[in-house]
Structure 1
Amino acid sequence: MELLERLVTVFAENGYLAVFVALLLCGAGVPLPEDITLVAGGVITGLGYGNVHVMVGIGMAGVLVGDAGMFLLGHHYGARIRQWRFVARVLTPERYAKVQEKFERYGNRMMFIARFLPGMRTAVFITAGSTHRVSFLRFFLLDGAAALISVPFWVYLGYLGADNHEWLEMWIRRGQNGIWLFCGVVFAVVLALWWRHKRRMECEPGPR
């Protein structure tokens, strides 16, 4: 938890702006875990350096602006963006091929799933923008829906565990697994409803 302690110190000294900038860096592919950054933002509010509800808003803004920036860069520059040095480090040929395979498998739902894929989300958003696979509005809605799950969870977790780092560390590990489980359940339910609707449409008699 050394990284968490460092972030808490920086955020406590510099406030909301530092959290927002750190989340922008997360969105740009800097190797800074987004979940730990959000938890650190929550911790400083639990220590009295801010308001936890405002921090959730700051977290949402930082996450969505960072993600949207990567998507729009890809959308504007297309395939040329893969030649940029910082993008080439994030979007290696192997990772690009993996992202393409995920898109073929999950389609535009990949925008929602990507929020829970550390190390992959930036590559997914750049790829989605550069290949024009999804409109910006659809991307923003899907990414925003996923952020409404992850951002409040991590910020409030940090707030509740501000004075008990052992408890917090335990729930960070549980939370990382729990969010995956929650998303899996949601995905399964949506898939089941889609399949049921499809079967119903196939069974309905056509016009005579």
Structure 2
Amino acid sequence: MTLLERLILLFAESGYLAVFAALLLCGAGAPLPEDITLVAGGVIAGLGFANVHVMAAVALVGVLAGDAAMFLLGHRHGARIMQWPLVARLLTPERYGRVQEKFARYGNRLLFLARFLPGMRTAVYVTAGATHRVSFLRFFLLDGLAALISVPVWVYLGYFGANNREWLAMWIGRGKHGIWILAGLLAVAGLVLCWRRRRHARCGMDD
């Protein structure tokens, strides 16, 4: 039995609460793929065990709650969090150092793109909180924007593929690439917008 099938059975029995709890675990860095969890939530809606729109909303809240908890944990405890046994297993000093370096280099862009980087989200969010360079509001807005892209894609994909698992498996693979492309396009658009604003500001100062 695949992980997707096991999650479908669990969610069909326990409903929204199980999906929400699983997504909190994903946010905490548990070895549970967020995309498969979201797809499983969509599948049980497609099979009639839940309402797909409510499922999408519950999933979005679960994702954001898990991410926010990691950010606030880093913000409150800073580098000391690295000494916690559970966190030390998930966030090694080497990984923490790499994320710090990337965060210093890319800043807000990394916060947005972290949603599309499996295995890196927890490290990025904890590091963002620990640096104290980003307010919680800015973090939440950037993470929320990314989640508004990824969460509905996976939930509705599961919903429409609930009765055709071969089609669903094919589109899970394609969906990963599609989300990356969409995220890349949005990142490029954001960079262009920032560049135009800076150019505008410089032109105004020259005048």
* TM bin (shorter chain): over 0.9
CA distance in 1, matches of 2:205, 2:194: 19
CA distance in 2, matches of 1:67, 1:205: 40
3-state SS, counterpart of residue 134 of structure 1: coil
Runs of 4+ aligned residues of structure 1 deviating over 4 Å after TM superposition are none
Contact 1:8/1:43 (CA < 8 Å) preserved in 2?
A: yes
> Which deviations, in whole Å up to 9, do the C-alpha atoms of 1:25-50 show, x marking residues without a partner?
00010000000000000000000000
| Aligned residue number for residue 173 of structure 2 | 173
Residue type of the alignment partner of 2:52: V
3-state SS, counterpart of residue 181 of structure 1: helix
Q: Report the TM-score when normalising by structure 1.
A: 0.96
1:110 Cα deviation (Å)? 1.7
Q: Structure 1 stretches of 5 or more lacking a match?
A: none
Q: Report the TM-score when normalising by structure 2.
A: 0.96
| Aligned residue number for residue 8 of structure 1 | 8
Say whether residues 1:39 and 2:74 are aligned partners. no
Matched-pair identity in %: 70
3-state SS, counterpart of residue 163 of structure 2: coil
> What are the equivalent positions in structure 2 for 1:172-191 lying under 5 Å apart?
172-191=172-191
Q: Which shows bigger deviation, 52-61 or 107-116?
A: 107-116
> Which deviations, in whole Å up to 9, do the C-alpha atoms of 1:92-131 show, x marking residues without a partner?
1121121112212211222211111100000111111112
CA distance in 2, matches of 1:204, 1:138: 27
| Aligned residue number for residue 89 of structure 1 | 89
> What are the equivalent positions in structure 2 for 1:52-201 lying under 5 Å apart?
52-201=52-201
Q: What is the number of equivalent residue pairs in this alignment?
A: 207
3-state SS, counterpart of residue 49 of structure 1: coil
Residue type of the alignment partner of 1:138: R
1:63 Cα deviation (Å)? 0.4
CA distance in 1, matches of 2:145, 2:205: 36
Distance 1:205-1:79 versus aligned 2 partners, 3 A rule: closer
Contact 2:38/2:155 (CA < 8 Å) preserved in 1?
A: yes
Residue type of the alignment partner of 1:195: W
What's the RMSD between the two structures over aligned residues? Answer: 1.3
> Which deviations, in whole Å up to 9, do the C-alpha atoms of 1:56-109 show, x marking residues without a partner?
011011101111111111111111111001111111112112111221221122
Residue type of the alignment partner of 1:63: V
| Aligned residue number for residue 203 of structure 2 | 203
